[in-house]
Chains A and B, each alone.
Chain A
Amino acid sequence: MLDLKNLNVSYGKQKVLRDVSLSLGEREVVTLIGSNAAGKSTTLRTIAGLKKADSGTVEFGGRDISPQPTVDRVQSGLVLVPEGRQIFPRLTVNENLLMGAYHRADRNDLDSDLERIFTMFPRLRERRVQRAGSMSGGEQQMLAIGRGLMSRPKVMLLDEPTLGLAPIIIEELGSIVRNLAREGLAILLAEQNAMMALGCADRAYILQSGSIVMSGDAKKLSETPEVKQMYLGT
């Protein structure tokens, strides 16, 4: 579905990603774990076309999309749910969701897509006419995911969705991610909360100072001493 090959990315003189290669299959949940400044967000931003790579390629559905602007990537089914949610605080929940469909050519099924999202997140239905900025952090995260879904993606890039959320919401988020994959979405989840991420992912990559240092089955990785010590705090 998604293939990164030898991606090198820098900000000014500072190299942020070094030779990063990773893949994401259909209906797969893959997590990218690392501490702050490891390069997780940069990886997702590069995939989304918000940041240009120095070298390497991003392939989506077998095609090199490196030259494509973000708009085209969204239209072909690749969507980013950004870190910190970045919802439109002064728009209502409904309006935020519709913004997610802004670039869609087919406007016919908007109502049924909204309905699907309200079924998935009943809290959003209750609050559909409320201003998004007045909702709690957990609700805003649901909204950001819902807005992403409105673009009808095949691949969703989720950047640190657990940030600032209560334990019980983090738990719920884990099952939401699993459900989305079951319904056919492929998800690349960048997380610092390794406990949550390894709990819901099929496979994992561990990013340190811009390089992938470990990868493999999520469950197996969570049992290795290095991961336990560095990311699980045990």
Chain B
Amino acid sequence: MLLNIKNLTKRFGGLTAVSNVSFGIERGEIIGIFGPNGSGKTTTLSLIAGILKPTSGEIVWKGEVINALTPFEVAQQGLVKTFQNPQLFPELTVAEHMRIACHLHVKRALGLGRLKTLLGKGATGDLEKTLSKKIDQMLELCRLYKHRNDEAGALSYGGEKMLGVAMGMVCDPELLLLDEPASGLGHDEITNLDAVLRDLKTHGVTLCIIDHKVGFLGRLADRSIALHHGAVIASGTTAEVLANDAVVTAYLGKKHA
């Protein structure tokens, strides 16, 4: 098992945001997480990514407990999370954002003095070539290559979200955690996102995705879990989860029944 979540609990004061959650992710799968607003989905991903520390329970990554790692160390382990709203620098270009996201590679290769490299002013030779190639490939894969020299401020909302995915991907994750990648996207943009994520899967990336666009994630995810008040109320194949009575009542509403 690539990732194994055991009895994960997170309390904020008197509020239990995540309550005794357990699930596993196998390599190569796409896992969906459904649940009403405030059910603990984002908190769960933030716990896995090391952004929040669990109150109790274990996060086991490739056999090792990683509870104590910082977000930076978790990302170095190959476990990367994207955000609901990517926080971009409006005046930097798409390619420059990708360079910033490459800091892990540069750090490994160069250690100190990497800042100049990040902005493309110092690196020469092999590293520069490797980085540029990697960035171009990823932008190609995420359908952003033609925008590589555009300022991020000029991107459409869908483009911004895709850049968030591309920046996560360029860190070479083994498992990418995506927090509502489709929210705020239109029909065409969702079709594009769907194709990009399927491409990623064929490139060997394991995906764990939160989204409220049930049509989109329902088609994409191999297996799913549903959360309500911080606890798992259903798990299984995505079709099973979406047909579950408790999920219909708490999340989907009667129109979907």
Residues of chain A having any CB pair with chain B under 8 Å: 35-37, 134-139, 160, 163-172, 192, 230-231, 233
- Given A138-B36, A192-B186, check contact A168 B251 (CB 8 Å): yes
Contact A233 B214, beta carbon cutoff 8 Å: no
How far apart are the CA atoms of A35 and B192 in the complex, in Å?
14
Which of A136, A166, A172 has the most chain B CB atoms inside 10 A of its CB? A166
Question: Across the interface, which residues of A come within 8 angstroms of B39, CB to CB?
Answer: 136
Total A-B residue contacts, Cβ distance less than 8 Å: 70
29 A-B Cβ contacts within 8 A? A35-B186, A36-B156, A36-B185, A37-B157, A134-B12, A134-B15, A135-B38, A136-B36, A136-B39, A139-B37, A139-B38, A160-B184, A163-B184, A164-B37, A164-B184, A166-B212, A167-B212, A167-B214, A167-B253, A168-B251, A168-B252, A168-B253, A169-B36, A171-B253, A171-B255, A230-B187, A231-B187, A233-B187, A233-B190
How far apart are the CA atoms of A134 and B84 in the complex, in Å?
16
Taking a contact as CB atoms closer than 8 A, the residue among B37, B184, B215 that contacts A136 in the complex is: B37
Contact A233 B184, beta carbon cutoff 8 Å: no
Residues of chain B having any CB pair with chain A under 8 Å: 12, 15, 35-39, 84, 156-158, 180, 183-190, 212, 214-215, 250-256
How far apart are the CA atoms of A136 and B42 in the complex, in Å?
11
How far apart are the CA atoms of A169 and B39 in the complex, in Å?
13
Contact A233 B215, beta carbon cutoff 8 Å: yes
Contact B214 A165, beta carbon cutoff 8 Å: no
User: Smallest CB-CB separation from A174: which chain B residue?
Assistant: B255
User: Smallest CB-CB separation from A195: which chain B residue?
Assistant: B255
